[in-house]
């Protein structure tokens, strides 16, 4: 990209896979002694109910950002 030239990169051969084996995860490869060889795979994808219960009459906590005092 010298002298204001425009360059393009084409990524036409990207294959996406929804299935990944446990052995293909980089962290598992780097720390094989920690992970059991008996792990059959990832847990199934499932929806989790998540909510934050607030007490009546409460609101967000407002805090001013931390700033150094002028010297």
- 1-40: pLDDT as tens digits: 567 777 777 767 667 666 777 777 888 788 878 777 776 7
CA-angle at 12, arms to 26 and 22, nearest 5°: 20
Is the pTM higher than 0.75? The answer reads no
Asked if residue 56 has pLDDT above 80, the reply is yes
Judge residue 58's burial from the number of C-beta atoms within 10 Å of its C-beta, 0-12 exposed, 13-18 middle, 19 or more buried: exposed
Instruction: Give the pLDDT band of residue 43 (cuts 50, 70, 90).
Output: confident
């Amino acid at each position: 990209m010298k002298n204001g030239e425009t360059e393009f990169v084409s990524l036409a051969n990207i294959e996406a896979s929804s299935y990944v084996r446990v052995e293909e995860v980089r962290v598992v490869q780097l720390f094989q002694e920690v992970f059991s060889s008996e792990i059959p795979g990832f847990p199934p994808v499932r929806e989790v109910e998540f909510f934050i219960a607030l007490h009546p009459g409460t609101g967000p906590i407002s805090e001013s950002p931390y700033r150094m005092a002028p010297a």
